[in-house]
Structures are given as C-alpha cells and as structure tokens.
Amino acid sequence: MTSSESPPVTAAARTASAGPATSQDPADRRRWFALAIVMTAAFMDLVDVTIVNIAIPSITRDTGASFTSIQWITAGYALAFAAGLITGGRLGDIHGRKRLFLIGIGGFTVASALCGFAVNPEMLVASRILQGGMAALMVPQVLSIVHATFPAHERGKVFGLFGAIVGLGAVSGPLLGALLTE
C-alpha cells in the first residue's frame, strides 16, 4: 500500500463513524411503542390480581356470594395464572410471542368484560379463572418481547421501567377497587 492509498474501511468502522442511531428512527419509535403496549398489559395483570380484594364486601352484598365463592373469586385467577404460566411461555416459543400476546390480551379483555357483567358468583368465578388463564398466555410474552426487542445495553433501563410498572400496578389495584366500589 502506498502512502496515497487509504486503508480499506470495514463495516464496523463505518458503523462506528456513523454514530448511534437517532431517536427519530422509525424502528426505534416502534419498539418503544411496543414497550408501552406490553407494559400496559403487565400493569393490567397486576391490577386485576389485587383489585378484587377491596371489592369483596360489595361482591358478597350484591351477588350473595358464599365464603367459598369468594375464595374461588380471589384464588381462581391466581390458580389459573400459575397453572398456565409455563405453558403460556412455551406456547409463545412455539407459535410466536406476538400471536400469543395478542390472543392473551384479547381473551383477557373479554374475560374482564365478563367479570363486569357477571350476574351471579358462579359466572364471576368462571370469568376470573378464564381471566387468569388468558393472563398466563399474555404475561410470559411481555418479558420475551422486551428481551427480543431491546439490545443488551438498553435492557437494564427497560427492566427498571418494568419493575416500576409492576409496583405501580400492585399498588393501583386496591385503589382502583376502592374507587369502583364507591
């Protein structure tokens, strides 16, 4: 190589000289929009786990639910969620995170509406169990989508945000339950 020739430029050198991608990149905006959606779903899950605890006296009074029914209303969600969580994650691996997330959030929304329209304790128990099962399809996809969407150097701040959303959801459930029963 003579002194007038420049060394070849590698792909890594081109990337380094181009600098970091700007936040105006459409792909960057899409992944942050996707993060907002999956974080909303995680928030809804935590709210629904805790919201019913405050509403127990109103549920008992309005539906005439027995003590056993109240136990199933509160525990049915958690039982279905826990029983289906590993299966929900594996189904996301097999059939795709996005597909399972959308099925889970759609079913969760329908089950939530059924809970609101429940005319008796039995319907409420069945709706809460369905809601927990749909959450078991939805929730494992949240962290999986975050892991697949964000590079390693950004995951720390994204998981920090996830922790804040989870904490806020757990605290908001009883507060929203109190507002709804008022």
Question: What is the pLDDT, as a whole number, of residue 54?
Answer: 85
CATH number, residue 134: 1.20.1250.20
Burial class (CB in 10 A: 0-12, 13-18, 19+), 176: middle
Number of domains in the chain: 1
Note whether residue 32 is domain-resident.
no
pLDDT value for 63: 86
C-alpha neighbours within 13 Å on the C-beta side of residue 50: 17
Q: What is the pLDDT of residue 18?
A: 45
The pLDDT profile of the chain, 182 residues, written as one tens digit per residue, is 555 554 555 544 444 444 444 445 666 888 889 899 999 999 998 888 888 888 888 888 888 899 999 999 999 999 999 999 999 999 999 999 999 999 999 999 999 999 989 999 999 999 999 999 999 999 999 989 998 999 999 989 999 999 999 899 888 888 887 887 77
CB-based contact 89:143 (threshold 8 Å) = no
The answer to whether residue 29 sits within a structural domain is: no
In a domain, 17, yes or no: no
Q: Is residue 35, in this structure, part of any structural domain at all?
A: no
Asked, for residue 25, whether it belongs to a domain, the answer is no
- For residue 2, being part of any structural domain is answered with no
Q: Answer whether residue 182 is part of any domain.
A: no
Per the listing, tokens 């509160």 go with 74
Contact (Cβ atoms closer than 8 angstroms) between residue 169 and residue 45: yes
Helices and strands in the chain: count of H runs, count of E runs: 6, 0
Residues 182, 178: Cα–Cα separation, whole Å: 6
Measured between alpha carbons, how far is 144 from 91 in angstroms, rounded to an integer? 12
Rounded to an integer, what distance in angstroms lies between the CA atom of residue 131 and that of residue 120?
16
pLDDT value of position 4: 52
Q: Which domain holds residue 166?
A: 41-177
**Residue 139 lies inside a defined structural domain of this protein:** yes
